[in-house]
C-alpha cells in the first residue's frame, strides 16, 4: 500500500494531510526518513510519525449534531470546545469537512482518512443540504439565481437545489465545500443568513439527533457512505 494511503488508512490524517506530513519529513519507515508518498509499506514496515509507531486501528464513523460555538477541529487551542470533545470514543477522530463556529447540525467524525478524503474531495460531488433562515423573505429572483449558480470571489458556484419551506427559510443543497459557501451565496443574491443548520450529508439525514449529541454510525450507514463516495 502507498505510504500516504497507509497513513490515511491508519487514521493519522486525511490523504491530503498525509502527503503534507510526508513532505515535511515527519514520517519514517524502519527508522529511515521517507519523503516519497508512493513508498510501498504494510503493517510490518515500521512506519512511524515523530518516532511513534503507526498501526491500523478499528475504523469508526460518528454523526454529531454540532451546537453553535463549537469549532470543527480535532483540537481547539483556545477556550472554545471542539467537535471531538462531544464524541465518546477513544479513537483519534477527525471531522469530515467543516461547519463554521456559528453554524449547527450534522458533522461526521472518523479515524478513516481514506473515507474522509473521499467524502470531501470535489471530484466525488457528495451533496450536503442546509436549512437556512434568512434575514429577509426570499424572492423568486433570488431563488432563481441560487439555482443557476452565483459568482463568488473564488469563482462561480455550481447550480444549487433550493426549496423554500417558508418566506424566510430555504433548504439548499450543494456538492461543493468551499469556506462559508452557503453564507456567501446568500450574500451574493443580496440577502443574509441568520441561522444555518446542516441537515443532510450524502445519504445521511440529521433526523432527531439532539443538539450536542452524537452516535456511532451502524455498518449499513457506513456502507452507504462508501457507496456514494465510490461513484
Catalytic site positions? 100
Helix (H, G, I), strand (E, B) or coil at 103: coil
Looking up cell 432563481 gives: 144
Strands 155-156 and 161-166: unpaired
Residue 57 to residue 111: CA distance in whole angstroms = 8
Q: Closest Cα partner for 111 from 212, 1, 217?
A: 217
Q: Return the axis-axis angle of helices 140-148 and 181-188, rounded to nearest 10°.
A: 130
- DSSP structure class, residue 40: B
And the C-alpha cell for 100?
463554521
Q: Return the axis-axis angle of helices 219-229 and 113-120, rounded to nearest 10°.
A: 50
Query: Is 14:120 a contact under the CB 8 Å cutoff?
Result: yes
Q: Closest Cα partner for 72 from 85, 61, 59?
A: 85
Residue 188 to residue 184: CA distance in whole angstroms = 6
Amino acid at each position: 500500500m502507498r505510504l500516504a494511503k497507509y497513513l490515511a488508512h491508519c487514521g493519522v490524517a486525511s490523504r491530503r494531510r498525509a502527503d503534507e506530513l510526508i513532505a515535511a519529513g515527519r514520517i519514517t519507515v524502519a527508522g529511515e526518513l521517507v519523503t516519497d508518498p508512493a513508498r510501498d509499506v504494510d503493517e510490518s514496515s515500521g512506519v512511524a510519525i515523530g518516532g511513534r509507531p503507526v498501526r491500523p486501528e478499528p475504523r469508526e464513523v460518528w454523526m454529531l449534531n454540532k451546537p453553535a460555538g463549537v469549532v470543527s477541529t480535532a483540537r481547539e487551542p483556545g477556550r472554545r470546545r471542539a467537535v471531538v470533545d462531544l464524541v465518546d470514543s477513544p479513537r483519534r477522530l477527525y471531522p469530515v469537512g467543516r461547519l463554521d463556529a456559528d453554524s449547527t447540525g450534522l458533522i461526521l467524525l472518523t479515524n478513516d482518512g481514506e473515507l474522509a478524503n473521499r467524502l470531501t474531495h470535489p471530484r466525488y460531488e457528495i451533496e450536503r443540504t442546509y436549512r437556512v433562515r434568512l434575514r429577509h423573505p426570499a424572492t423568486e429572483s433570488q431563488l432563481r439565481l441560487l439555482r443557476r449558480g452565483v459568482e463568488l470571489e473564488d469563482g462561480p458556484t455550481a447550480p444549487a437545489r433550493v426549496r423554500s419551506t417558508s418566506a424566510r427559510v430555504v433548504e439548499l443543497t450543494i456538492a461543493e465545500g468551499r469556506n462559508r459557501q452557503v453564507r456567501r451565496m446568500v450574500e451574493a443574491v443580496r440577502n443574509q443568513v441568520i441561522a444555518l443548520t446542516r441537515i443532510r450529508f450524502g445519504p445521511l439525514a440529521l433526523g432527531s439527533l439532539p443538539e450536542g449529541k452524537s452516535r456511532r454510525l451502524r455498518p449499513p450507514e457506513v456502507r452507504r457512505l462508501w457507496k456514494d463516495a465510490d461513484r
